[in-house]
Chains A and B, each alone.
Chain A
Amino acid sequence: MTAVPRPDATVDQADRSGVEPDATGIGGLGRAPEDSYLSVRDLQVHFPTDDGLVRSVDGLSFDLARGRTLGIVGESGSGKSVTSLSVMGLHKPGTVRMRGSIILDGTELVGALPEEVRRLRGKKMAMIFQDPLSSMHPFYTVGHQIIEAYKVHNSVSTKVARAHAIDMLGRVGIPQPDRRVDDYPHQFSGGMRQRAMIAMSLSCDPDLLIADEPTTALDVTVQAQILDLIRDLQQEFNSAVIIITHDLGVVAELADDILVMYAGRSVEYASAEEVFDHPQHPYTWGLLESMPRLDREPTDRLAPIAGSPPSLIQVPPGCPFHPRCTSRELVGAPCHTERPAFRSVAPAHHIACHLDAPSRARRWTEMTESQP
């Protein structure tokens, strides 16, 4: 994966002259928004607390079509999980302030009645969580929990639902599903539990699947199996998938598009190829540089991003990344004072950064060449 700086000055100049070149507005990545199954626009998710307002998500937009996979990447506290819980409507009512728009298959979810969102949960959108052990109820059998999920949205007899549960367990690769269906979660291994979770979330054939760190709690060997499984099932069901992770390896494996989040905002949004081959945002550079890679010398030191993510109560003014940014001196004052617009820098490639194209090209060259 040798990244080559890209002469994209022309696009950038067009952008600078005030033309928003991407016809779909934000984030459609070349497809018209009407194609998208999930469409998020300027989403803001704020939590009032005793210490102040926590701006967990602050102006986020993306689109996702059926059959596509979006990887949302960022450090802990960047708002990835909050975003997915917002889509699912799983925030505690009364604790959260949501603004903007989340449109799922033509239905606006922000401000919708909780009961309305509940009917969609599990049926049109489903979620897989990080830790499959704590995410399954310890007192009920795996089968019971799948049957329960199926029966909420389908008026069928328990017998039919049970047959469906066994079928789903078989499809996610659990051996002897007709016997394991009566096992309790603690009788499954970690990887099997995550398979069972996937079977449960897919039991109603949802069109949107959100996987929140689906492999973080698993062994490395099992991780690959689970990722393969998600990809296979996506092709089979032709669903839209959001993979939330801090692991760039996972997105590299699965994602068509990548959304990089920092401090509740999107900083870079492009196709996976673009992000890996022509990253444009200093934060994305940092993420890529801090990732171990096989094409590097083993003696090379990884370059972590200095500092830590900002408090979401007092987000730094201007660009929230500027205190940790190694390129800020190339821009100067605007980084500290002006929030960078989320703009298009190439077809279907958006970033939020004040750096102009030549500086970005130069910086990325310097960074990649400093590594032998």
Chain B
Amino acid sequence: MLTYLVRRILSSIFLIFVVSAVTFAIFFLVPRLGGATADDLASRYVGKSAGAAQIHQTAVKLGFTDPIWVQYGRFAKGLVVGANFDYGPGVEHCPAPCLGYSYLEQQPVLPEIIDRIPVTASLAAGAAVMWLVGGVSIGVLSALRRGSLWDRAAMTTALAGVSLPIFFTGQLLLLFFAYKLHWFPGGGADPTQATSPWDWAYRMFLPWTALAFLYAAIYARMTRAGMLETMNEDYIRTARAKGLKERTVVIKHGVRSALTPILTIFGLDLGLLLGGAILTEKTFSLPGLGKYAIDAIDKNDLPKILGVTLVAAAFIIVANLVVDVLYAVIDPRVRTR
């Protein structure tokens, strides 16, 4: 188990570097391959009235004139040992792991990203609890009452949930519950400003609901399918043959097996969301990683885009690792292999 863990962690670190290289290539190499010169790239980061000489000076300063591998090497070195930037008035040190230095705001990217994480984490964690509890229980009930009115109503709602985009359901929620009924705050309710856990939940309730609705729908359908399959297993018949109560049969023997594959997907979904729930954050104007990413793309601030992409990738890789370890805890057949 320990060697497995060490091996997985090492390969995860390797994977982070691969992701960083690919992301770097996409944002820094592709425009050059498309014919843009170093000066073209640099022209975005100087004022509109800048002359050619000033643009070229900026290009040299930002390192665009160096070969691409030198540029990446500088970035990778920053990740490992930190870097010094002298874009601005003075020299600023960016300690390892340094994700880069914003061209426009002239400050290191990582602290900004770290500032945004609590917002996104609030959103993802709350919504995850909602969709997991909601989706799984709806799925289990639907499977147990397959073909009933409940099942059909739940699955139709789930189909709607899967199909409707968040910016639609989110706007709808805001319209009714915030602007008409005034039950919940409108957009921009920053959870990090909350004064109490209640206030936190109050601020986040609508974004949670919008995000959880989508995922609950997917999870309800997956859980239903998994439960239908599991309840036909021979070991369920054995559990009944032992005279166990139906509730024990369903929960202890059925749901436990049906949830195992769902756990895998849950880990990945959560990892993905921690890297930024772009649509939800945009809809509810939450200053999280997703909104940070959109703003960075809007302004073409390459180090920010690169940084947030890497953080998101790291979340997914860590989530994947956690899921694989948890899987071994849940399913003993994986453990002994």
Partner of A120, one of B235, B239, B243: B243
Chain B hits for A137, CB < 8 A:
235, 238-239, 253, 257
Number of A-B residue pairs having CB atoms within 8 Å of each other in the complex: 77
Chain A hits for B239, CB < 8 A:
137
Question: Does A118 lie at the interface of the complex (its beta carbon under 8 Å from any beta carbon of B)?
Answer: yes
* B260 CB to nearest chain A CB (Å): 8
Size of A's binding interface in residues, CB under 8 A = 31
Known: A186-B332, A186-B333. A136 touches B238 (CB 8 A): yes
* Contact surface of A with B, Cβ cutoff 8 Å: 88, 90, 114, 118-123, 126-127, 129, 131, 134-139, 141, 148-149, 152-153, 184, 186-187, 197, 200-201, 204
**Is B242 a contact of A136 with CB atoms below 8 Å?**
no
**Is B332 a contact of A138 with CB atoms below 8 Å?**
yes
Known: A139-B256, A139-B331. A118 touches B243 (CB 8 A): yes
**Is B237 a contact of A135 with CB atoms below 8 Å?**
yes
Chain A hits for B233, CB < 8 A:
134
**Is A122 a contact of B241 with CB atoms below 8 Å?**
yes
* A172 CB to nearest chain B CB (Å): 16
Chain B hits for A131, CB < 8 A:
234
Chain B hits for A152, CB < 8 A:
242-245
Interface residues of B, dominant DSSP: helix
12 cross-chain CB contacts under 8 A: A118-B243, A118-B246, A126-B241, A129-B237, A134-B233, A134-B235, A135-B235, A136-B235, A137-B239, A137-B257, A139-B256, A148-B244
Residue of A nearest to B257 (CB): A139
Q: How large is the interface on B (under 10, 10 to 19, 20 to 34, 35 or more residues)?
A: 20 to 34
Residue of A nearest to B241 (CB): A127
Question: Does B240 lie at the interface of the complex (its beta carbon under 8 Å from any beta carbon of A)?
Answer: yes
Chain A hits for B257, CB < 8 A:
137-139
**Is A201 a contact of B331 with CB atoms below 8 Å?**
no
* B249 CB to nearest chain A CB (Å): 10
Question: Does B195 lie at the interface of the complex (its beta carbon under 8 Å from any beta carbon of A)?
Answer: no
Bound CA–CA A200/B238 (angstroms): 10
Known: A129-B234, A131-B234. A138 touches B333 (CB 8 A): yes
Chain A hits for B256, CB < 8 A:
139
**Is B235 a contact of A121 with CB atoms below 8 Å?**
no
Type the 1/0 row for B245-257, where 1 means its CB is closer than 8 Å to any CB of A: 1100000010011
* B245 CB to nearest chain A CB (Å): 7
